[in-house]
Structure formats: structure tokens, C-alpha cells
Chain A
Amino acid sequence: QQQVKQSPQSLIVQKGGISIINCAYENTAFDYFPWYQQFPGKGPALLIAIRPDVSEKKEGRFTISFNKSAKQFSLHIMDSQPGDSATYFCALRDGNTDKLIFGTGTRLQVFP
């Protein structure tokens, strides 16, 4: 069964706008929530991550918001730029197995 649901599947944003990608999960055994950014022809690269004892983490234009009670977390990209155009994956680490479970991905396109 799918343990993490990511939405939307694709997102088109104007330059300077805010991009928001959401993930919801079902299991409470997760202890680490990273976001990965993948450009065509490249492997995913860690963008930003949060642990469940924190509700928000900000790094530059990228912010993770985490709602533990709702089992949801989201990535916000402020002042979106064409260079942010990529596929974004949320992930959750199973604290028992230490394996990451990935979302289905969101393809973001930022137009000038």
C-alpha cells in the first residue's frame, strides 16, 4: 500500500510566485522527512529536511511546514525561479528499518 501521498502531480508557477507541494502519510514510525530535487538526467539531491520535533524549517527560499497531528508536511518555494524547474520528491524515513519511502513526485515548471 502507498504510505505517502504527494500532490499535485504537476505544478506551473509564474516567476516570483510561491510553489507549494504537499505530502500526507499514514504511519507514525517515520522520524525524518526530507525533500529531494531532481533535474532531468540527474539523480535526486537532498534539498531540505525536517525532524518531527520541529514544525517549520527554512533554508533560503525553501521552507518545510510540518503538521505532526495531521500527518502532513509541505514544501514551500518562495520567489520561484525558472532554475527551480525540476521534479520534487518528498520522503519519509522508517525509524525501524532506516529506509526512505518516496512520494510519487511533483513536476514543477516555473515560467518567466
Chain B
Amino acid sequence: EADIYQTPRYLVIGTGKKITLECSQTMGHDKMYWYQQDPGMELHLIHYSYGVNSTEKGDLSSESTVSRIRTEHFPLTLESARPSHTSQYLCASSAQGYGYTFGSGTRLTVV
């Protein structure tokens, strides 16, 4: 079944730790996105990729980084987590001309 998967679903981590949020899709979509969202609030685009080895920063400045080595995989990394990074992170993918398919998100809490 074609889908988009995010792991972990929940993560509580201490300040200063390095973390990687995983995102994988099985639909063969070239375009992938990372959004940051506080619960029930606006969606803010922080990174996007239009294909392998292509990554761009989004509209909201973020200290995170991303990589796109394989079409199906688009991980997000925070080198040193801070309480201000506490949020929900949503990954999405799309095919040309259509809307986005979102994952279920990772709820990150930095203590």
C-alpha cells in the first residue's frame, strides 16, 4: 500500500542532543516537504526537495538540516536540540500537479 511514514511518532529528548526524524514514502514521488506545526496551528514550510540531491529551505527559518540521497527517504536532522524546537514535524510528498500526502507527524519535546 502506497503511503508516507514518519518515525518516531513521539520523541522526548534533552537539550543539546542530536536527533534525526525519519520520513519515507513508497509512492515514488519526486517532491517532498517538511512542515513545522504547533498543535492546531498554522503549517510552516521549513524544507523541501524536488528530487535526489535537491534540497531547499522553506519559508520559515529553521536550524534543522535535511538530505535527499534516495527518492523515498527525506530525513530531518537537528544537530543540537533546544526547547524552542519543541513542536510537531510533518513530512509530505507530492506528484506533479497534485496535492500533498502527509505523514502522521513526529511530536518532538525538548526538555
> A interface vs B, CB < 8 Å?
32, 34, 36, 40-46, 49, 87, 89, 91, 93, 98-100, 102, 104-105, 107
- Using a Cβ cutoff of 8 Å, how many contacts connect chains A and B? 50
B74 at the interface (CB under 8 A from A): no
Q: Is the interface of A mostly helix, strand, loop or mixed?
A: strand
- B40 near A105 (CB under 8 angstroms)? yes
Instruction: Please tell me if the beta carbons of B99 and A43 are within 8 angstroms of each other in the complex.
Output: no
Residues of A within 8 A of B96 (CB): 98
- Given contacts A42-B104, A43-B90, A43-B92, A100 and B99 within 8 Å (CB-CB): yes
Q: Which residues of B contact A46 (CB under 8 A)?
A: 99-101
Task: Check if B42 is an interface residue, CB within 8 A of chain A.
Answer: yes
Which residues B72-111 have CB closer than 8 A to chain A?
A: 90, 92, 94, 96-105, 107
